[in-house]
Homo-oligomer: A and B are copies of this chain.
């Protein structure tokens, strides 16, 4: 793994420095636990924030979409981009309103995107995306056509700078407030996957592939599905 990110004027966390992380392991774990990111870009001074699905390959994040997408047409020009990923992990209920907070893991990634133009590289990137979400699925699908590949834009952004911010644990209250008879603690939040719902046009008896068994989405890219969610 390359050297850690260096905090810059752009990426340095200004508030609550103790929550800041610049090491690649932390940043990449936050990326790899997500399928959703928010891509920020500027058109004529106006910021836009577009949700999209992302995945990571080494020091790059990739995302894709239609050739007609305004977001993709803008970012492929190499303009500055900010990609932010956030996992909301809990509501932190303190003894005073002021110390209420949330537990979260977020990563802010800075760079410039470029189109993946090589056909083979583009096909491999799309395969990697499907495989990440459902390992083993790509080989079972109706193969991608040349026209589909042509109509899909894939962009990659080398992460030039990045900062992660993480809060975990119980509330941190003012010392005298701990004596108050107020319940305080955390309501944990998790993005959870339910049982797959078959398309009504799937033939009766078609088994749900094991890659789509109910699992903890937080496990993406990090570890095998949790045993307790594999039913």
Query: Which residues in A have some Cβ–Cβ distance to B below 8 Å?
Result: 10, 14-15, 35-36, 38-42, 45-51, 53, 65-66, 68-70, 80-84, 86, 88, 91, 93-98, 100, 102, 104, 106, 108, 110, 126-127, 130, 133-134, 137-138, 140-145, 148, 152, 170-171, 174, 177-178, 180-203, 206-209, 212, 214, 217
Known contacts A170-B200, A192-B190; A48/B40 CB under 8 A: yes
Known contacts A35-B88, A102-B35; A193/B182 CB under 8 A: no
Q: How far apart are A222's CB and chain B's nearest CB, in angstroms?
A: 17
Residue in contact with A130 in the complex, picked from B83, B100, B199, CB distance below 8 Å: B100
Q: State the number of copies, please.
A: 2
Residue in contact with A186 in the complex, picked from B137, B148, B187, B196, CB distance below 8 Å: B196
Known contacts A38-B86, A46-B10, A98-B144; A188/B181 CB under 8 A: no
Pair B68/A15 contact, Cβ less than 8 Å = yes
Nearest CB in chain B to that of A95: its residue: B142
Known contacts A188-B193, A189-B217; A82/B47 CB under 8 A: yes
Pair B181/A203 contact, Cβ less than 8 Å = yes
Q: Interface on chain A toward B: helix, strand, loop, or mixed SS?
A: mixed
A166 to B207, CA, bound (A): 29
Known contacts A35-B102, A144-B98, A187-B212; A47/B51 CB under 8 A: no
Residues of B within 8 A of A197 (CB): 170, 185-188
A70 to B50, CA, bound (A): 21
Q: Which 4 A-B pairs have the closest CB atoms?
A: A40-B49, A40-B47, A49-B84, A51-B86
Residues of B within 8 A of A49 (CB): 38-40, 49, 82-84, 108
A199 to B194, CA, bound (A): 30
Residues of B within 8 A of A80 (CB): 45-47
Most B Cβ at <10 Å: residue of A69, A91, A108: A91
